[in-house]
Structure 1
Amino acid sequence: PEDYDSWASEGNDQWNFQKLIPFFNKVESDPDFRDDFHGSDGPIVMHRFKPDTWLPAQTAFYTACLDSGYEDCPDHNNPDSTGVGPTPLNNPGGIRISTAMGYLDQSRHRLNLTIRPECLVHRILFDGNRATGVELESGGETFVVEADEIILSAGAIGSPQILMLSGVGPASHLDSIGIPVVKDAPGVGQNLRDHPAVWITWRTKEGFPLDGLAPRMQLTLRYTAENSDLRNDMKISMQSFATEPVNQGGGRMEPLGIRMTSGIYLAAGAGELRLESADPAVQPILDYNYLKEESDVRRLRESVRICVELGEHESFKDIIQERIAPTDAELESDDALDEWIQRVVTTSQHISCTCKMGPSSDPMAVVDQYGKVHGLEGLRVVDASIMPDCIRANTNVTTLMIGERVSDFIQNGN
């Protein structure tokens, strides 16, 4: 709740937690809980693994957390929750209920809806300061789609990229790429937020079952870092099946052992997104700027040591053979551990905030609280990029809520 109340305090008064509860509830159908904080008939079906389905590593993790003083948390989606408990997932029966399944499948029959796959957006077209259409490429053909209002929902990477390709972004950067400036918007691509994470990995004992098709993540620990004034700013998830990193040659189904994923869920640092080229097919440059703030380094260092201690709990004695990473040498000092963290830190794939919303008095705000791009007409952005700051949770449900919230604005003439 504090995350959304913080958004509201920055000039987005329609986004405080109390006003957002109905839109969170509209998204989900949660069969496990019936109260003011859970939906019952939304398109995204929630699921939690029950204790009798927990794999051995998950049960050991749960026991270790409780014995370490963390609270039992049966519902991480309750606003007052903290501690260890089942991870809320949107994959009942092992099938993820994506927005394509939950939303588009219900709407394909509409005569006023056309779904066109395999399209690459080149740019948004403008007449003065009004957006009039979008230039697209599909099947080797380039064409234009015109509309009274353009709603950009390409994600926290795609949306700022498309805006800048269209001439909306930091003027000096656009000039350097050779893109004519339509609107100098210095906040486009800035304020890139994520949940920086590291993996603590153990080799399991010979004969311990590792099934790549079994559920890999069933339980999560949420807690507050020492001396932090940000409640639940840290998260540790137990992974029942670990491989070598795929980007380092590991196979997705080649077992190595088990691991815990430790992440900062409200980092102090922010990065930026820049264009590499005016060619829409060229991926933009992502500078995550992880761990440049001392508070982020300190919190992640503490979390790694917590994971190591949990792994040494007696509940893991029949599971773990040895710790692979970090090594004992990398744990000997804070400096050694910090070097390891800096080397292995990676994304939680929760990129957000690159077109932040805020009042026009904020020079870095790209859109107002209704998703409308400042200084332009007929153009909105509606996705994770408009978050002013990242949230202390997975960004998936919040992004769906943003869609529901702005849909309500549009339906009510805002």
Structure 2
Amino acid sequence: MDNRISDYVIVGGGTAGCVLAARLTEDPSVSVTLIEAGPENRGLLVQMPAGLGALYDKGALHWPFKAEAEPYAADKVLPYKMGRVLGGSSAINGLVWARGNPRDFDDWAEAGCTGWSWADIEPIFRRIEDFKDENDPHMGHDGPIPVKRGRAECNVLANAFLAAAAEAGHRINPNHNSGDQDGFCALHQNTRDGRRGDVYEGYLRPVRSRPNLRIHTGQPVLRVLLDGSRAIGVEVGTRTGTVVHRARRDVILAAGAVASPQLLELSGIGDPAVLSRAGVALRHNLPGVGENFHTHPTIALTYRCSKPVSILNATRGAGKIAAGLRWILTRTGPAATNHFEAGAFLRAFPDSDRPDYQITFLPLALGGTTGAVMLHGYQIYIELVGCRSRGYCHVASASVEDQPRFRFNFLQDPRDIEVYKRAVETARTLAAQPALAALTEAELVPGREIQGAAEVEAWIRRCASISHHLVGSCRMGPSGDPMAVVGPDLRVHGLDGLRVVDASIMPRVTSANTHATTIAIAEKAADMIRVAHETSQPRIRA
């Protein structure tokens, strides 16, 4: 038997790829090859919930992407560190579990993506979740991904944040994942017994010994191989040269919102003008590849505390060592949480049909991108979850080693900046409420000297920064949509044997962190692929 031929070749061992590999190999008659460009070794920092900052700084498990200058955001050049390891971004993310808003999925269905409504996707979320509150009727309780409610009451500042929200007249929502998203809340986290609960631990590690699953790490895929209009396999780089892995049925791109469109274009699938500029021969005209690229931009207001009540002491010196040792020995203490205990999903306008922005509260003041400042403080992060601006992601050359060119055009749409102005006003109002004011000495960023609509807008454009919720670059849509890359079955339009299954297929980003939805996309794709497998013959025979 040729071990380089399998039923399915999955490109990318990240969030979606791990789910697909686990689900498809539940059928012992189905063979799967999973190919990951990054390493297998994950280390203690991946398991430690509070290790995410150190993971980001070290960068060993990230793709070091950089966007082009953002013309509507002070020409900033921002880094995007996506996961480059088995488990992908699920292994390095902020551990917030947020399904999004029902309207997000209903929009997809109403745009022609049959089978992707909230009614279709909500049961899939339940299948995924292992929520540690058996009395909550809205969540799943037996799935592979642990979910727990944040414990704001155990942190002085997070507790004060929610109290300030109530004082300001905001609603306190007992469960933002119930289908009723609006309001302030304890955020849900992907942790179990003080450890990260990612897709590798939940899906892939328990099934690695299956004889019908082969996993290759440290091997970048160079291109998809086409025979006419059929994908038949992939060309992979190894230490000794290139090899070909062939698929009897489907090649599945699960490489993420940057690498999946990159691989399509390197394979000659995309807009003819884009491919011509990069020196890639056209194999299949598909102009939507790499378009519709977007994410949630972020800003953060930073405050200095009047009392030593932040988590600063656990992030430096002897306190940091003590927190690490406690976690190693008992899986408890400051290192056993992501510290994103509380947040909110809010609407900026009366005519908004879902939250426009998300707040995440951090009981620590950070300087720059990740460096902790040496004072007690807190930050109010604001993510523009209803963003309307769109960008692109395209290959710069015919080599997989050259990073794609991409940008998001942050704040190009006028409504985006108006949402942010209202969100800043909300954050400042919260800090002025008695519960938080009693613990607050000063606003450090942007500073009380920044007042008035023009000054606030200028600060927002200067300081708008990154979230890692990249989506949209292989947009899902019906066959009549000229800019859709995949159909509702996630098959690439006009080609046989090729699917894309990752966050890149989202027509519009969900109104929350995208981790949960990416897992749900992979679960639904596995369902569809199993049905197709049962009703069709293989395209390539060994």
Per the shorter chain, which TM-score range? Answer: over 0.9
Q: Determine if contact 2:131/2:140 at 8 Å carries over to the other structure.
A: yes
Q: Partner of 2:350: helix, strand, or coil?
A: coil
Q: CA deviation at 1:276?
A: 2.0
1:222 pairs with 2:345: yes
Q: CA deviation at 1:33?
A: 4.8
Inter-CA distance 51–275: structure 2 relative to 1 (3 Å threshold): closer
- 1:196-255 CA distance string (max 9 Å, x none): 110101122363442336342100111111234232222111101122123xxx535866
Q: Which residue is equivalent to 1:305? A: 425
C-alpha distance in 1 between matches for 2:524 and 2:290: 23
1:281 pairs with 2:411: no
Q: Which residue is equivalent to 1:387? A: 506
C-alpha distance in 2 between matches for 1:80 and 1:184: 41
Work out which of the residue numbers 183, 193, 198 in structure 2 matches 1:83. Answer: 183
Q: Which residue is equivalent to 1:133? A: 233
Q: Which residue is equivalent to 1:181? A: 282
Unpaired runs of 5+ in structure 1?
A: none
AA aligned to 1:368 is G
Q: Determine if contact 1:21/1:37 at 8 Å carries over to the other structure.
A: no
1:406 pairs with 2:406: no
Q: Partner of 1:32: helix, strand, or coil?
A: coil
Work out which of the residue numbers 267, 278, 281 in structure 1 matches 2:387. Answer: 267
Q: Partner of 2:243: helix, strand, or coil?
A: strand
C-alpha distance in 2 between matches for 1:207 and 1:57: 10
Q: Determine if contact 2:157/2:309 at 8 Å carries over to the other structure.
A: no
Work out which of the residue numbers 329, 338, 361 in structure 1 matches 2:457. Answer: 338
Aligned residues: 409
1:315 pairs with 2:435: yes
Inter-CA distance 253–134: structure 2 relative to 1 (3 Å threshold): farther
AA aligned to 2:273 is S
Work out which of the residue numbers 243, 252, 255 in structure 1 matches 2:366. Answer: 243
AA aligned to 2:281 is P
C-alpha distance in 2 between matches for 1:64 and 1:262: 17
* Larger RCO, structures 1/2 (Cα 8 Å, 6+ apart): 2
C-alpha distance in 2 between matches for 1:80 and 1:311: 26
C-alpha distance in 1 between matches for 2:210 and 2:521: 22
C-alpha distance in 2 between matches for 1:106 and 1:31: 21
Q: CA deviation at 1:49?
A: 2.5
C-alpha distance in 2 between matches for 1:65 and 1:314: 10
Q: CA deviation at 1:335?
A: 0.9
Of residues 277-286 and 288-297 in structure 1, the stretch that sits farther from structure 2 once superposed is 277-286
C-alpha distance in 2 between matches for 1:229 and 1:35: 28
Q: Determine if contact 1:34/1:40 at 8 Å carries over to the other structure.
A: no
AA aligned to 2:181 is S
Q: Partner of 2:512: helix, strand, or coil?
A: coil
Q: Partner of 1:105: helix, strand, or coil?
A: helix
Q: Determine if contact 2:269/2:286 at 8 Å carries over to the other structure.
A: yes
Q: Determine if contact 2:152/2:158 at 8 Å carries over to the other structure.
A: no
Of residues 85-94 and 360-369 in structure 1, the stretch that sits farther from structure 2 once superposed is 85-94
C-alpha distance in 2 between matches for 1:328 and 1:242: 17
TM-score w.r.t. structure 1 length?
Answer: 0.95
C-alpha distance in 2 between matches for 1:134 and 1:23: 30
1:59 pairs with 2:59: no
Q: CA deviation at 1:51?
A: 4.8
Q: CA deviation at 1:394?
A: 1.1
Q: Partner of 2:303: helix, strand, or coil?
A: strand
Inter-CA distance 200–228: structure 2 relative to 1 (3 Å threshold): farther
C-alpha distance in 1 between matches for 2:428 and 2:153: 26
- 1:163-205 CA distance string (max 9 Å, x none): 1111111110000110011111111111112111101011223
Q: Determine if contact 2:477/2:488 at 8 Å carries over to the other structure.
A: yes
Q: CA deviation at 1:389?
A: 0.7
1:6 pairs with 2:107: yes
